[in-house]
Amino acid sequence: MQTDVVVIGAGAAGLMCAFTAAARGRRVLLIDHANKAGKKILMSGGGRCNFTNLYTEPANFLSGNPHFCKSALARYTQWDFIELVSRHGVPYHEKKLGQLFCDNKASDILAMLLDECEQAGVDLRLETAVQTIDKADGGYQLLTDAGPVTCQSLVIATGGLSIPTLGASGFGYQVARQFGHTVLPTRAGLVPFTITEPQLKSMCEALSGTSVEDCLVSCNGQTFRENILFTHRGLSGPAILQVSSYWEPGDAIEINLLPHLNLSEWLDEQCRERPNTELKTLLGELFTRKMAGLLAEHWFVSKPLKQYSANELIEIAEQLGCWRLVPAGTEGYRTAEVTLGGVDTKEVSSKTMESQKSPGLYFVGEVLDVTGHLGGFNFQWAWASGYAAAQYA
Ligand code: FAD
């Protein structure tokens, strides 16, 4: 079989790239080894797909080269995707912080992308693996489950390593290396932390399912203000997932559990106004009673406020405002939303996504060393990079 463009990976970036290139009049074959296209889209955003973010900016992305994402994000913006969603009549809403979700189901987004593929005439082949890729005259020759295929342009859209049960594989990195690319070390991002220190672990287990609204979580100079969630294995929730992308093994994280209060002033005030109130009772007004009880048990000796010295009150304020802990690790690719690292952007054109090592070869989406914050940014990168490559492939 001969075609103009082969896209490997029918996820977010691959679908966008395939129908955009086909709409330009290119013959496009879209291949995926899974039995369904866009499995991650279906799972995303708790089943409602946080498909973009109103406030998308290059600063929302991590990459060895922070400038790389700028061109593609500027040429296919969140407004372009919102226009597509609106044109298909997919109902959506802003949940918070510019995050746009489907009103109904994530499958609305997948159905929209598949509809675009069908209208543009994309040839989609599922359950099709690629055995070998070789350079051919003016293009590439692939040996696939569906037989040999030659093409002028080959787009790698196979994503990262997170959630192997959804079809993730290291295939894209393997292809990159085959054609002389550097693949930067990969690690799980947007992922819960595990905690093994016995006392803290037992507190997390006891509080599993409890979330604390509005915390400030910091790591390596990055701070996020959002909820945190205790889990059986450690800590999760949006603020924790965000800092996990900046965390390296051995690093400490700092959590301010009450950023809206000036804690030492507030404790002094409480001490003056109600000196006989126990610390546990006071904390119970700020957190759940169970959490207050556990904090009082693990961190402080609970007694009436008037019995604490000024220094002890300062220590309590510091503990609540700057809880410092060293996670044992992360839950890894099993639950991570994204993969950090990947194909080094220094060897890829930021305008076209084309390889600088092998003409006609393109990389789009998460396989590249570009990772978004939590909040719809990763899909926006998939749409923007897929669109950019489709203009040239
Ligand atoms: P993918 O969407 O992962 O697609 C890669 C495709 O390649 C898959 O279909 C896979 O089957 C195929 N493939 C892999 N290897 C091969 C091979 N060897 N041969 C053929 N095909 C292959 N981001 C957001 O912005 N908002 C969210 O709400 C959100 N929620 C998420 C929830 C979960 C549980 C997870 C895991 C991720 C979430 N993300 C979210 C991140 C987002 O899903 C990814 O960043 C995005 O899907 C990346 O797009 P991609 O096309 O590069 O890769």
ipTM of the complex: 0.99
What strand order describes the sheet that includes 193-194? 323-325, 253-256, 211-219, 222-230, 234-236, 193-194, 329-330
The pLDDT of residue 323 is: 95
Q: Ligand 1 centroid to 215 CA: how many Å?
A: 29
The pLDDT of residue 302 is: 87
Q: Ligand 1 centroid to 339 CA: how many Å?
A: 10
Q: Ligand 1 centroid to 389 CA: how many Å?
A: 17
The pLDDT of residue 7 is: 98
Cα–Cα distance measured from residue 28 to residue 18, given in angstroms and rounded to the nearest whole number: 6
The pLDDT of residue 54 is: 98
The pLDDT of residue 164 is: 84
Ligand 1: does its nearest atom lie under 6 Å from the Cβ of 170?
no
In the chain, what percentage of residues exceed pLDDT 70? Answer: 100
CA nearest ligand 1 atom 11, residue: 167
Ligand 1: does its nearest atom lie under 6 Å from the Cβ of 343?
no
Q: Which two tokens stand for residue 96?
A: 């918070």
Domain ranges of the chain: 2-187+339-390, 193-330
Residue 353 contacts residue 72 (beta carbons within 8 Å): yes
The distance between the two most distant Cα atoms of the chain, rounded to a whole number of Å, is 85
Nearest to 328 by CA among 256, 223, 253, 241: 253
- Choosing among 3.40.50.2300, 2.40.30.10, 3.40.50.620, 3.40.190.10, the CATH entry for 193-330 is 2.40.30.10
The pLDDT of residue 298 is: 84
Q: Ligand 1 centroid to 83 CA: how many Å?
A: 22
The pLDDT of residue 169 is: 85
Ligand 1: does its nearest atom lie under 6 Å from the Cβ of 171?
yes
Ligand 1: does its nearest atom lie under 6 Å from the Cβ of 129?
yes
pLDDT at 173 over 80: yes
For residue 336, the surrounding DSSP H or E stretch is none
| CATH architecture assigned to 2-187+339-390 | 3-Layer(bba) Sandwich (3.50)
Ligand 1: does its nearest atom lie under 6 Å from the Cβ of 238?
no
pLDDT-derived band at 300 (thresholds 50, 70, 90) equals confident
Cα–Cα distance measured from residue 99 to residue 120, given in angstroms and rounded to the nearest whole number: 29
Atom of ligand 1 nearest to the CA of 34: 11
Ligand 1: does its nearest atom lie under 6 Å from the Cβ of 15?
no
The pLDDT of residue 26 is: 98
Pocket perturbation via mutation, ligand 1, pick of 6, 29, 39, 40 by most ligand atoms within 8 A of CB: 40
Ligand 1: does its nearest atom lie under 6 Å from the Cβ of 146?
no
The pLDDT of residue 97 is: 95
Atom of ligand 1 nearest to the CA of 162: 36
Radius of gyration of the chain measured on its C-alpha atoms: 24
CA nearest ligand 1 atom 43, residue: 40
Ligand 1: does its nearest atom lie under 6 Å from the Cβ of 40?
yes
Cα–Cα distance measured from residue 216 to residue 300, given in angstroms and rounded to the nearest whole number: 21
Q: What share of the chain is helix, strand, coil (3-state, %, to 5)?
A: 40, 25, 35
CA nearest ligand 1 atom 48, residue: 366
The pLDDT of residue 137 is: 87
Residue with tokens 């946080």: 50
Cα–Cα distance measured from residue 113 to residue 280, given in angstroms and rounded to the nearest whole number: 53
Ligand 1: does its nearest atom lie under 6 Å from the Cβ of 386?
no
| CB neighbour burial string for 285-324, b if at least 16 within 10 angstroms, e if fewer | eebeeebbbbbbeebbebeebeebeeeebeebbeebbebe
Ligand 1: does its nearest atom lie under 6 Å from the Cβ of 12?
yes
Cα–Cα distance measured from residue 390 to residue 374, given in angstroms and rounded to the nearest whole number: 26
Q: Residues 297, 300, 302, 307: what is their CA dihedral angle, to the nearest 10 degrees? A: 170
pLDDT at 301 over 90: no
For residue 308, the surrounding DSSP H or E stretch is none
Q: Ligand 1 centroid to 159 CA: how many Å?
A: 5
Alpha carbon 119 to its chain's center: 30
* pLDDT tens, residue by residue, 286-295: 999 999 989 8
What mean pLDDT value characterizes the chain?
A: 96
Q: Ligand 1 centroid to 167 CA: how many Å?
A: 8
Ligand 1: does its nearest atom lie under 6 Å from the Cβ of 158?
yes
